């Protein structure tokens, strides 16, 4: 049974806004209510269609009134910030993420009309360490439990969500653990990282990175909202890229930084506003993280249209490379002709 | 029971070492009635065709008649271009076949062929396809035996199979070492990874002795240490793949460990800090391994498929199977040692 009234938190961000827009375009849904503490951009507002925008903080007790008066039956919680920069410092980011979620869940618990809750979580709950298995399944726990930042917030949020599920067993719950997002439009940690002309990496480490295309992320969120999957599921593209490989594919220049300098460099980039990477994101650059998505494909019933490499290629197509692969090919051809005295004209392909 | 396992050992001699000269080891060959329980499938008749196109550095010394030098320049440049544009594939474990074939294995080959003069036996015991678990003894202070066994399986097996090793977490913690280990197809020794690889039909290699084996004093050479907790046996049972015991002779002598700076090792957070006759006495020169003669033998597969997956929950069965594998390797180590004669022969 499709939902009648959907509340989406965090609609001023890219994915939240897109989801609200898609839901608003679905005639089977009566009302879509969008919530955020900051107003959406003008383009976003145009795309939102018939979504009713409520400018409120999820920590505001008024949320309970909104939910009960509109008889919301489905809540999609996406208002979880990933970087302290956008939220005005780590303390307020944590307040918004963890206390905001608690408040929202408290309001949800009181809402008699509520039937379904969808939470956008993240695979950072698995942490990132040298002792990690190659792929995480949903039943595995982090080998090194995240102790700071977004990852720690997400672990706590999932804990509160489990508590809510115990108290309201009549509400069906889907927890979506997303890998890193990539695409032309979305603004994510990785899109900012791969947009830098010189990309810092950790010397002697090459993380395996799994990415999910923004359109696939949106489709999974929509299916989770309108259908009835219950449980926790990893959501990511198939396959992996090595960090160094991805940097090359994006036509960027990797700069290897020795381990002791990684922290100070991250701080410098943060202070100068070039990039905002938290310590746990820097750790991610060492070891990366890959999750098993067989539950997504078999149980949830969705296979991402683009795998990691294809999703990344779409991102690269939208960004001008610093080093154009075509120029490397041209250089190869020239070198080849000189070196083989014109006996071989064209490069060999594997 | 240990005696019973000795019987297949003479069978070692019935398979002539593929593509290697068998000069010194004559006596063992006389025993004819070795029972090849595994039917000698078409493996010996298969020409050593490579599934991949002959690549420059790879086939450089093996087949000089094939590609001309221009071809090799072209392939070298193509490899550089692939690296610079990121145009290669890795699997979800981070295995980078392009790098392994073009850089890693060619770099190990001189060591394998000229330095350790490695001979392999019983390669027919490794199936041409499908999952199998190779269990080997560990030695040598530096885990060179892992690198060499991978190369042995790749070069000497008719199907050129890839051996995916399971390594200790320290390996993956170290800069450079960890990333090279992943790129060359190895992963962390944990049940999740082992079972995932075996399920997907890969050939997996494991050294159950771990640091206790690789970091043991020279006086204890060729004495198998404790075989972990038998985790490798339960992984094989759960995936129903055969266990192939593998005995490596020669790796014990490459860095004879005559002392161990235990307290300094503890401060540095490593399991041991070796003193060898040449290290740290000769400084970096002490890092050159001694040119011992190596023999690697793959024993008869021990099937586990008939046990059923629930057998992994039976600790007694798991312990017995672990002991059986351990005894097999120990016995075959003794017979290989007899066969080898002197250390540097």
Answer whether A242 sits within 8 Å of B90, measured CB to CB. Answer: yes
Confidence at residue A259, expressed as pLDDT on a 0 to 100 scale: 87
Q: What is the mean pLDDT of residues A163-184?
A: 96
Domain-embedded: residue A319: no
Domain assignment present for A237: no
Which pLDDT value is given to residue A81?
A: 82
Check A134 against B192: CB less than 8 A apart.
yes
Q: Do A134 and B94 touch (CB under 8 A)?
A: yes
- Residue B187 Cα, gap to closest chain A Cα (Å): 7
Q: Compute the distance between CA of residue A75 and CA of residue A20 in angstroms, rounded to an integer.
A: 11
Residue whose tokens read 């069965």 = B317
Query: In the numeric block, which tokens belong to residue B292?
Result: 């011992």
- Show the tokens assigned to A145: 């439990």
Residue ranges and CATH numbers for the domains of chain B are: 2-19+53-254+289-340 (3.40.1130)
- Taking 50 as the pLDDT cut, the residues of chain B under it are 1-3, 6-65
Average pLDDT of every residue of chain B: 85
Residue A110 DSSP symbol: H
Other Cβ atoms within 10 Å of A132 Cβ, number = 25
Residues 216-275 of B with CB under 8 A from A: none
- What is the rounded distance in angstroms from the CA atom of residue B250 to the CA atom of residue B336? 10
How far out from the chain centre does Cα A11 lie?
15
Specify if A86 maps to a domain: no
For residues A11 and A51, what is the distance between their CA atoms, to the nearest angstrom? 10
pLDDT given for residue A85 in this prediction: 64
What is the C-alpha separation between B137 and B294, in angstroms, rounded? Answer: 13
> Which pLDDT score is estimated for B66?
52
Q: Taking all residues of chain A, what is their mean pLDDT, rounded to a whole number?
A: 91
- A246: in domain: no
Decide if A197 is inside a domain.
Answer: no
Q: Name every residue in A having a CB less than 8 A away from some CB of B.
A: 130-135, 137, 140, 202-206, 208, 239-242, 244-249, 259, 287, 290, 323, 325, 328-329, 332, 335-336, 339-340, 343-344, 347-350
Task: Tell me if B196 and A135 make a contact (CB, 8 A cut-off).
Answer: yes
Q: Is residue A328 part of a domain?
A: yes
pLDDT in tens, A67-111: 999 999 999 999 888 877 666 778 888 888 999 999 999 999 999
Q: Report how far residue B241's alpha carbon sits from residue B239's, in angstroms, rounded to the nearest whole number.
A: 6
Most A CBs within 10 A among B100, B102, B179, hence the mutation to make, goes to B179
Omega before A119 within 30 of 0, i.e. cis: no
- β-strand A241-242 against B132-136: which pairing, if any? unpaired
Residue A344 in domain = yes
Neighbours of B147 (CB within 10 A): 20
Q: Which residues of A touch B78 (CB under 8 A)?
A: 332, 347-350
Considering only CB atoms, which chain B residues are within 8 Å of A257? none
**Residues 6+ positions from A35 with CB-CB distance below 8 Å:** A7, A8, A9, A10, A11, A53, A54, A56, A58, A63, A66, A79
Count of A-B CB contacts under 8 Å? 113
List, for residues A294-305, the tens digit of each pLDDT value.
999 999 999 999
Please judge whether A340 and B179 are an interchain contact, meaning their C-beta atoms are less than 8 angstroms apart.
Answer: no
Among B56, B58, B72, B86, most A C-beta atoms within 10 A, so best to mutate, is B86
Please give the residue of chain B at the shortest CA–CA distance from A331.
Answer: B81
- Residue B81 is nearest to which of A203, A247, A347, comparing CB atoms? A347
Q: The domain containing residue A345 runs over which residues?
A: 324-350
HEC secondary structure over A158-219: HHHHHHHHHHCCCCEEEEEEECEEECCCCCCHHHHHHHCCEEEEECCCCCEECEEEHHHHHH
Contacts of B67 in chain A (CB under 8 A): none
| Contact state of A336 with B77 under an 8 Å Cβ cutoff | yes
| Residue A155, domain member (yes or no) | no
| Distance (Å, whole) CA A3 – CA A24 | 12
Q: How many domains, in total, are found in chain A?
A: 1
Average pLDDT over residues A262-270: 84
B175 touching chain A per CB within 8 A: yes
- Nearest CA-CA distance, residue B268 and chain A, Å: 16
Contact by Cβ (8 Å): B338, B249: no
pLDDT tens sequence across A320-349: 999 988 899 999 999 998 888 888 888 887
pLDDT at position B67, please? 64
- What is the model's pLDDT at position B46? 41
In this model, does residue A278 exceed pLDDT 70?
yes
């Amino acid at each position: 049974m499709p939902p009648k009234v959907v509340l989406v938190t965090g609609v001023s961000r890219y994915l939240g806004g897109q989801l609200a827009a898609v839901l608003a375009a679905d005639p089977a849904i009566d009302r879509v209510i969008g919530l955020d503490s900051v107003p959406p951009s003008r383009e976003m507002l145009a795309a939102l269609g018939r979504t009713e925008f409520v400018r409120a903080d999820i920590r505001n007790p008024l949320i309970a009134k909104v939910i009960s008066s509109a008889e919301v039956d489905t809540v999609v919680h996406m208002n979880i910030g990933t970087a302290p920069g956008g939220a005005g410092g780590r303390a307020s980011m944590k307040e918004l993420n963890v206390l905001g979620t608690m408040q929202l869940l408290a309001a949800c618990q009181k809402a008699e009309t509520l039937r379904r809750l969808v939470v956008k979580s993240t695979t950072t709950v698995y942490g990132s360490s040298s002792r990690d298995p190659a792929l995480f399944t949903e039943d595995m726990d982090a080998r090194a439990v995240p102790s700071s930042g977004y990852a720690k917030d997400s672990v706590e949020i999932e804990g509160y969500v489990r508590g809510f599920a115990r108290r309201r067993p009549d509400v069906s719950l889907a927890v979506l653990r997303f890998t890193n997002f990539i695409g032309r439009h979305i603004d994510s940690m990785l899109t900012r990282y791969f947009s830098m002309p010189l990309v810092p990496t950790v010397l002697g480490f090459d993380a395996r990175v799994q990415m999910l295309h923004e359109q696939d992320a949106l489709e999974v969120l929509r299916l989770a909202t309108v259908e009835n999957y219950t449980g926790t599921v990893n959501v990511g593209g198939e396959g992996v890229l090595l960090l160094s490989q991805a940097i090359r594919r994006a036509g960027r220049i990797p700069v290897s930084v020795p381990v002791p300098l990684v922290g100070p460099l991250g701080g410098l980039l943060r202070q100068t506003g070039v990039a905002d990477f938290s310590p746990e994101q820097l750790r991610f650059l060492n070891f990366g993280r890959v999750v098993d998505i067989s539950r997504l494909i078999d149980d949830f019933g969705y296979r991402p249209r683009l795998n990691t490499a294809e999703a990344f290629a779409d991102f690269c197509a939208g960004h001008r490379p610093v080093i154009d692969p075509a120029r490397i090919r041209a250089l190869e051809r020239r070198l080849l002709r000189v070196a083989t005295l014109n006996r071989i004209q064209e490069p060999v392909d594997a | 029971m240990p005696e019973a396992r000795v019987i297949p050992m003479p069978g070692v001699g019935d398979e002539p070492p593929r593509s290697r000269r068998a000069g010194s080891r004559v006596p063992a060959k006389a025993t004819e009635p070795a029972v090849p329980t595994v039917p000698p499938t078409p493996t010996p008749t298969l020409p050593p065709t490579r599934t991949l196109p002959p690549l420059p550095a790879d086939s450089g010394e093996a087949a000089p008649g094939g590609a001309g030098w221009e071809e090799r320049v072209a392939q070298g440049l193509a490899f550089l271009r692939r690296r610079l544009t990121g145009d290669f594939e890795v699997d979800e474990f981070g295995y980078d076949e392009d790098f392994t074939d073009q850089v890693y294995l060619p770099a190990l080959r001189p060591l394998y062929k000229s330095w350790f003069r490695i001979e392999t036996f019983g390669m027919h015991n490794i199936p041409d396809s499908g999952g199998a678990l190779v269990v080997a003894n560990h030695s040598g202070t530096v885990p060179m035996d892992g690198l060499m066994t991978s190369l042995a399986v790749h070069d000497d097996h008719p199907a050129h199979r890839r051996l995916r090793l399971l390594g200790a977490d320290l390996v993956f913690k170290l800069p450079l070492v960890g990333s090279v280990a992943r790129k060359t197809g190895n992963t962390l020794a944990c049940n999740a990874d082992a079972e995932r690889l075996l399920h997907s039909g890969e050939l997996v290699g494991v050294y159950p002795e771990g640091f206790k084996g690789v970091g043991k004093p020279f006086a204890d050479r060729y004495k198998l240490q404790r075989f972990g907790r038998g985790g490798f046996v339960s992984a094989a049972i759960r995936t129903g793949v055969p266990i192939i015991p593998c005995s490596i002779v020669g790796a014990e002598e490459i860095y004879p460990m005559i002392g161990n700076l235990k307290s300094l090792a503890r401060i540095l957070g490593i399991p041991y800090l070796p003193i060898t006759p040449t290290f740290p006495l000769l400084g970096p020169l002490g890092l050159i391994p001694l040119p011992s003669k190596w023999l690697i033998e793959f024993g008869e597969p021990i099937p586990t498929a008939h046990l059923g997956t629930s057998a992994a929950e039976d600790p007694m069965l798991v312990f017995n199977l672990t002991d059986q594998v351990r005894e097999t390797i120990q016995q075959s180590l003794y017979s290989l040692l007899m066969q080898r004669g002197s250390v540097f022969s």
